[in-house]
Amino acid sequence: MSDATSLQGMQHERQYEFSLPENYFFRSEKGLNRRVIEQISYHKNEPQWMLDFRLRALEIAEKKGRPKWGPDLSALNFDDIYFYIRPQDRKGTNSWDDVPEEVRETYRRLGIPEAEQKALAGVGAQYESEMVYHSLKEEWEKKGVIFVDTDTGLQEYPELFREYFATVVPPEDNYFAAVNSAVWSGGSFVYVPAGVEIEVPLQAYFLINAQSMGQFERTLIIGEEGSKFHYIEGCTAPTYNSDSFHSGVIEIICKEGSQVRYSTIQNWSHNVYNLVTQRALVHKDASMGWLDGNLGSKVTMKYPSCYLLEEGAKGEVLSIAFAGKGQHQDAGAKMIHAAPYTSSSVVSKSISKDGGRSSYRGLVEIHEGATNARSNVECDALLLDERAKTDTYPYIEINEKTAHVGHEATVSKMNDEQIFYLQSRGLEEDEAAALIVRGFLEPVAKELPLEYAVELNRLIELEMEGSVG
C-alpha cells in the first residue's frame, strides 16, 4: 500500500472525529412525548396553531407505528434520543462573528467560512436542532428572495408560511413525517419570486454534534412562476458509540414554468439512522431535479419524489448510494404522473462493499388521463467484493394506454481486467479501483457544481480505502 493510501486510511478513520464539548443552553429529556413537544414550542415562542399541529402529529405517529417494510429499524430506540437541543440562548445570526466559538470551530472543519467567501447566493448552517448562521446576498434580498431558517420563516412571514407548510408532506403521509411534524426544528425556508433567476446556489449545512441526538429539520421551498434556482445541502455527524437519528422533511412547490434543483451530499457517520421524506409538487411546464448522494449513515431510507400535477411538468432524480460494512442504503425515487405530456427520469447508481447492502426502491405511477406521459428508469449496481449485497424493488403502475415507460437494471462486479490494465499504467490497485468507481458514478457526479464534485470524489476515495488487495 502506498504512503498516500495509508494517509487516506488515517483520514478515513478521523473524518468524523471533530465533536466538541456539549455545552448547550437547553436539552430536552430523552424520549418523545407531549412534554418534550410543549418545551420545543415554548422555546421557539410559536403561535398556538403550530403547537396544536405538533400535538396532532404526535397522535398520528402513535397510531401509525413504524413501517414494517424496508431496512431493520429495531435497534432505533426513541427512549435513548434527545429530540431537541438548543445550542445557544438566541436566534440564528447573520454575522459569522456572533456565532459561538465552539460552533464556529466545528463548522470551520466543514469549510463554511471559505464557502461564504466564494460569493454564494446564501448560506445557512444548522447545529443540532437550531439554525445558528444565515446569510443572503443583498442583491437577492432586493429582488424579494427569502432564504431564512424555517423557524424565522414562521415568525417573520406567517401568512406565506402557513399557506404552504405541510401541504406537500402532511403528518398523515408516513410515520417518520409524523414524527418530524411533531418535533421539527430548523431547516430552510426559501421563497423565490416570479421570474427571478439565482445564478449561484443557495446552500445549507446540517451537523449533529451531540451523542444520541435527533435532528428534524423541516425545509420548505417555493419557486414562483418562471423562477430558476438551485438549493444545495450537506450533512455530517461525528461517530459515537450510541446511535443518532436524522429525520428531515423537504417540501418543494414548483409553480408554472419554474426550474428548481435540489442537491444533497449526505455524509453522516455510520451510527446515524437517516430516514427522510423529500417531495416536490410540479406544476405546468415546470421542472424539478433531485440529486441525491448518500455515502454515510447506518441505515438510510430516502426516496425523493415528484408529483407531476399539470401538463408539461418534468421530474428527474439522480441518485448515488455507497454502502460499506454495517450499512444499508435503501434509496430510490417516486414519480407520480397525474397530467398529460409529463415526463420523468430516474438514474440510480449504487455501490456495495464489505457486506454493505444497497437497495433501489422505486415507484412510477401513471394515472388514467395522463396521456403521452413518458418515464425512464435506470438502476445500476456495482459490487466490490463477494460479501456485498444489492436489491432492486421497482414498482410500476400504468393506468394510461398512451404512456411510454422504460426500466433497465444492471448488476456488475469490479472487473479484474480493468484493474490490471490501470495497474499496468502505473496506478496502485486501490487507486485503480477508485478510478473505476468514479467512472461508474460519473453520469450523476457531472451534474454537481465543481466544488461538490471534488468533495464527492474525495469521499469516494475515503470509502474505497482497503476495498481491494
The DSSP code sequence of 98-161 is: GS-HHHHHHHHTTTHHHHHTT--SEEEEEETTEEEEEEE-HHHHHTT-EEEEHHHHHHHSHHHH
Rounded Cα distance, 21 and 209, in Å: 9
* Residue partners of 114: CB distance under 8 A and separation at least 6: none
- C-alpha grid cell, residue 238: 461525528
- Domain assignment present for 404: no
- C-alpha grid cell, residue 359: 437497495
* pTM of the entire predicted model: 0.85
- Give the dihedral of Cα atoms 461, 465, 468, 469; nearest 10 deg: 130
More confident of the two residues 244 and 57:
57
At 191 the pLDDT is 97
pLDDT (mean) for 404-411: 94
More confident of the two residues 377 and 98:
377
- Domain assignment present for 393: no
- The pLDDT confidence band at residue 96, using thresholds 50, 70 and 90, is low
Rounded Cα distance, 438 and 448, in Å: 13
- Domain assignment present for 147: yes
Q: What is the pLDDT of residues 20-48, one digit of tens each?
A: 444 555 677 888 999 999 999 998 899 99
For the cut 60, the answer to whether the pLDDT of residue 1 exceeds it is no
At 12 the pLDDT is 41
Are 290 and 421 in the same domain?
Answer: no
Cβ neighbours around 163 below 10 Å, total: 11
Are 250 and 123 in the same domain?
Answer: yes
User: Of the residues 268, 302, 336, which one is the last residue of a structural domain?
Assistant: 302
- C-alpha grid cell, residue 113: 467560512
At 9 the pLDDT is 38
More confident of the two residues 4 and 455:
455
**Count: domains in the chain:** 2
Amino acid making up residue 92? G
Are 117 and 249 in the same domain?
Answer: yes
Are 21 and 147 in the same domain?
Answer: yes
For the cut 70, the answer to whether the pLDDT of residue 112 exceeds it is no
Q: Which residues make beta-bridge pairs with 81?
A: none
For the cut 80, the answer to whether the pLDDT of residue 105 exceeds it is no
3-state secondary structure of 312: coil
- Domain assignment present for 328: no
Q: What is the pLDDT of residues 272-304, one digit of tens each?
A: 899 999 999 999 999 999 999 888 789 999 999
pLDDT (mean) for 150-176: 96
At 18 the pLDDT is 40
Rounded Cα distance, 305 and 249, in Å: 12
Are 19 and 149 in the same domain?
Answer: yes
The enclosing H or E element of 86 equals strand 85-86
User: Of the residues 302, 328, 352, which one is the last residue of a structural domain?
Assistant: 302
- Our separate counts of H helices and E strands in the chain read 12, 24
Are 290 and 422 in the same domain?
Answer: no
Are 131 and 255 in the same domain?
Answer: yes
At 209 the pLDDT is 56
pLDDT (mean) for 355-372: 97
At 313 the pLDDT is 98
- The pLDDT confidence band at residue 251, using thresholds 50, 70 and 90, is very high
- Domain assignment present for 372: no
pLDDT (mean) for 452-464: 71
Rounded Cα distance, 359 and 82, in Å: 29
pLDDT (mean) for 188-213: 79
Average pLDDT, the chain: 82
At 201 the pLDDT is 81
Q: By percentage, how much of the chain surpasses pLDDT 90?
A: 54
At 210 the pLDDT is 53
At 109 the pLDDT is 55
- The pLDDT confidence band at residue 111, using thresholds 50, 70 and 90, is low
Residue 442 domain boundaries: 416-469
Cβ atoms of residues 58 and 46 within 8 Å: no
At 335 the pLDDT is 98
Among 133-142, 313-322, 422-431, name the most confident range: 313-322
- Domain assignment present for 409: no
- Domain assignment present for 311: no
Q: By percentage, how much of the chain surpasses pLDDT 70?
A: 77
For the cut 60, the answer to whether the pLDDT of residue 418 exceeds it is yes
Are 423 and 282 in the same domain?
Answer: no
User: Of the residues 276, 302, 328, which one is the last residue of a structural domain?
Assistant: 302
Cβ atoms of residues 277 and 169 within 8 Å: yes
At 45 the pLDDT is 93
At 348 the pLDDT is 95
Residue found by looking up cell 427520469 in the block:
345
- Domain assignment present for 368: no
Are 425 and 291 in the same domain?
Answer: no
Among 135-149, 237-251, 340-354, 419-433, name the most confident range: 340-354
Are 135 and 276 in the same domain?
Answer: yes
On the CB side of 205, CA atoms within 13 Å amount to 25
More confident of the two residues 9 and 155:
155
Rounded Cα distance, 258 and 78, in Å: 40
